[in-house]
Structure 1
Amino acid sequence: MAELAEVNVAVPRAPLDDPVMAGFANAFDVVARLAEAAPGFVWRLAAESGHAVLATSAGIEVVVNVSVWRDYRSLHEFVYRGAHGRFLPRRRDWFAPTPPPATALWWVADGRRPTVGQALARLGFLRDHGPSPQAFSPVHRFTVDGRRCR
């Protein structure tokens, strides 16, 4: 069996403890708990503090989210149809334009938990080579066996 790994990055408009980021920072733990309770959720990367993970991608400091889901439908339902979706319209308040694509998906063996470095490498692969079974986007997805989804 395989599970769907996901990484997304966003360029914060200010340090996470800045008042500009308060809405994001205050919602982070709530949204993380909602994800953990969502159908199809398997795992998420958590910073030692429990808050957002910061890393450098393409020379820019970014907030990094890495998670694993049972399938794309579960991820999609959480991101767009649940409480998380109500935060999406505010992302421009908290995040500057991010070099696209900002999200990459790929299949992992059951129990495999990607590191930040592995996830950013998949995102870099998608940026450099476009969608493929190695790394794909929510719009241009691939099945576990490497076939393009219709």
Structure 2
Amino acid sequence: MPQLALYTFGVLKSPLADPAPLTREFYDIGATVYREISRHPGYLAHAEAADGDPGVLFGADWGAWGEFAVPAWYGKGRTRETTALAATLSLWTGLRPAFDAVYSGPHRAALSRRYDWFERTGHPNHVFWWVSDGAIPTWREGVSRLEHLHDRGPAPHALTFHDPNVGGATL
């Protein structure tokens, strides 16, 4: 049975290493959100760097999830001190469980605060696509599909929660 891959990407207003209260708050809320989402029915896995350091994205060992990649429109730093982004890559049993996890509980509360932390870029912030059972999506696949979504709109291989029916999926 196919599984759902979900890639999210956002450009933060300040670098991850910034000691400002909003950055610390984002980290604290993020830890709570990940903990809750990992318990959500339908959640299978998400990309995690082998060393577990949340401040290191570029150059980290992501295992089967592949080399970390970002969309071409990301123009901020790539070092520990200058990286200003948040990205996730996860696997789900289906569309409904992913949608429910994103739009309920602590993640929904965090979404209501997104403009405190994230820039308004005019680019999509998520994309999903179907993968074969047992397949692990890669960061580069997520970026490619998000860029396709931005450049050409939804397609069966680059869907959003707002337009899931392009690929025949339904909530």
Distance 1:132 1:148 in 2: 11
Q: Give the corresponding residue for 2:168.
A: 147
Q: Give the corresponding residue for 2:105.
A: 82
* Structure 2 gap ranges (5+): 59-68, 77-84
Q: Give the corresponding residue for 1:130.
A: 153
Q: Secondary structure of the equivalent of 2:17?
A: coil
| Residues 17-56 of structure 1 aligned to structure 2 (within 5 Å) | 17-18=17-18, 19=20, 20-47=22-49, 48-49=51-52, 51=54, 53=57, 55-56=69-70
The letter of the residue matching 2:47 is L
Q: Deviations along 1:38-65, whole A, 9 cap, x unmatched?
A: 0000111123325374653224143211
Distance 1:105 1:96 in 2: 21
Please say if 1:70 is aligned against 2:73. no
The letter of the residue matching 2:3 is E
Q: Give the corresponding residue for 1:98.
A: 121
Residues 1:86 and 1:148: Cα distance change in structure 2 (over 3 Å): closer
Matched positions, count: 148
Q: Which runs of 4+ in 1 moved over 3 A?
A: 52-56
Q: Is the CA contact (8 Å cut-off) linking 1:6 and 1:105 kept in structure 2? A: yes
Distance 1:46 1:99 in 2: 27
Q: Give aligned-pair identity as a percent.
A: 31
Q: Deviations along 1:104-149, whole A, 9 cap, x unmatched?
A: 1100011111111111011111112211111111111148xx4364
Residues 1:78 and 1:148: Cα distance change in structure 2 (over 3 Å): closer
| Segment drifting more, 125-134 vs 1-10 | 125-134
Higher relative contact order (CA 8 A, sep 6+): 2
- In the superposition, the TM-score normalised over structure 1's length comes to 0.87
How large is the RMSD of aligned CA atoms in angstroms?
A: 2.1
Distance 2:95 2:120 in 1: 25
Q: Deviations along 1:15-54, whole A, 9 cap, x unmatched?
A: 1121131111122222111111100001111233253746
Please say if 1:11 is aligned against 2:34. no
Q: Give the corresponding residue for 1:58.
A: 72
Q: Is the CA contact (8 Å cut-off) linking 2:44 and 2:90 kept in structure 1? A: yes
Distance 1:142 1:105 in 2: 12
Determine which structure has the larger strand proportion and give its number. 1
Q: Secondary structure of the equivalent of 2:113?
A: helix
Q: Is the CA contact (8 Å cut-off) linking 1:141 and 1:149 kept in structure 2? A: yes
The letter of the residue matching 1:147 is G
